Amino acid sequence: MKPMLIYAGMFVASLLVAIEIVLLLVPRDQERTVVALVPSHTGKGVPKASRVLRIDSTTTSRDSVAVATRDTVKKEPPASIGLQDSIAHLNATLKLERQKVASLTERAVGDTTRHELVGSKDMKIMAKLLDAMDAQGAAKILQNLEDKHVKEILLTVKKRQAGKILSSLDPERAARIMR
């Protein structure tokens, strides 16, 4: 009898572990659609049309009624609403999408600013290295870079060294860089 209980316990434990693994493998950012029946009647004993709710993977549903936090539920507009209500719903949706775009834009600007700060530190390091090199060697290296990057580097290099490097470059390219 005891071995049977041990095997049953091991089976239940392995089943729970398998369920946890499946739950961990399911992507959490996907949305699923749950249909919840609304128990209101038209007076003839027939329930009204059900509502469709979009619920993300962190919510649960009980007894055909969707349970979710207020932020994760997006109600689809019912088919019987008027044109004005439809326009209002679309305007609200548009406003939410614009807010999302604004927040993503702010985040992108912040990332770009951080990237530029790192780039400026690298630029100063390259300028110090070019200061220590002879002008012909530095010009050979700078020939492989874009004009705007060469200009940024030459603006951080000491003036005397920048002049020597510019004189070692191709005259047409030096003129383009100085513009």
CA distances from 141 to 91, 123, 146, 160, 170 (A): 55, 14, 11, 18, 13
Q: Given this model, what pLDDT does residue 169 score?
A: 92
| Banded pLDDT at 41 (limits 50, 70, 90) | very low
CA distances from 48 to 37, 38, 45, 77, 123 (A): 8, 7, 9, 15, 68
**How many folded domains does the chain comprise?**
2
Residues 102-126: tens digit of each pLDDT: 888 877 776 665 555 446 677 778 8
Spatial strand order in the sheet of 51-56: 31-36, 51-56, 74-75
Whether 152 is in a domain gets the answer yes
Same domain, 66 and 121: no
Host domain of residue 71: 31-79
| Banded pLDDT at 160 (limits 50, 70, 90) | very high
Residues 138-151: tens digit of each pLDDT: 888 888 888 888 88
- Locate 66 and state its tokens: 């969707």
